[in-house]
Structure 1
């Protein structure tokens, strides 16, 4: 069962708008019994093979699926996510993948922070995301 949550986008704080709505809330208030934290997920398949070397879209899809699987293993869903932190090696390539972001980060409309970094844990990786979810048991 999803936790009770309320998203806030006050008019006193700038919010990035896309298609007439804020891309993410400025703050989220959550009432729940259990928190789920994911490790930063990279574009590795279940056997440890790199997916999409040099391809941000393919890597983003794999990272999103890995996050979905990790959350489900812990009894949570993408809709339960209240915070996502994304690290990318190419911000421009990341911005071309807004549709994938919406697919994996959009359902629960979590707060979100994105950083461009010079390198991730493996040199072939272009994106890493970790999440926090809150669920009621």
Structure 2
């Protein structure tokens, strides 16, 4: 598989900030369930700290991607669920630490009233495309 094709802003569509409007690739589709700021024992990391939680979420995503033979370069779509949209800058900073500006996936951000545990602030799911299995 070659790297996914990314279109930051198709003709007639206003450019977004920090994401691509369209991303596609060929290969094996990988879906990663929403990840939260839980360590390997299920303990919350960074209670009350959106950036610390986002960092843990991206580490969990990295591990899930690796289990499928993928990296962040293969990610074509991220969906962010935040309990307060004001957490988005912290989430973007954590994302920017692992995803380069030329690898921006398509993205959606949704403010939700709660996640499955009250101390969680951020959940992120990912879709990726990798080379076909050999």
TM over 0.5: yes
Shift of 1:97: 4.3
Counterpart of 1:49 (choices 43, 51, 74) is 43
Flag structure 1 segments of 5+ consecutive residues without an equivalent. 18-22
Aligned to 2:10: 10
SS in 2 for 1:25: coil
Shift of 1:27: 0.6
Counterpart of 1:114 (choices 106, 109, 124) is 109
Structure 1 residues 11 and 31: alpha-carbon distance in aligned structure 2, compared to 1, 3 A threshold:
same
Q: Is the 8 A contact 2:82 2:110 kept in 1?
A: yes
Counterpart of 2:34 (choices 31, 40, 53) is 40
Q: Is the 8 A contact 2:10 2:21 kept in 1?
A: yes
Aligned to 1:31: 26
Structure 2: distance between partners of 1:3 and 1:123: 41
Flag structure 2 segments of 5+ consecutive residues without an equivalent. none
4+ runs deviating over 3 angstroms: 104-107
Q: Is the 8 A contact 2:50 2:121 kept in 1?
A: yes
Aligned to 1:126: 121
Structure 1: distance between partners of 2:24 and 2:75: 12
Q: Is the 8 A contact 2:4 2:25 kept in 1?
A: yes
Task: Give the TM-score taking structure 2 as reference length.
Answer: 0.89
Structure 1: distance between partners of 2:36 and 2:90: 18
Q: CA RMSD in A?
A: 1.6
Q: Is the 8 A contact 1:53 1:124 kept in 2?
A: yes
Aligned to 1:20: none
Task: Give the TM-score taking structure 1 as reference length.
Answer: 0.87
Shift of 1:115: 0.4
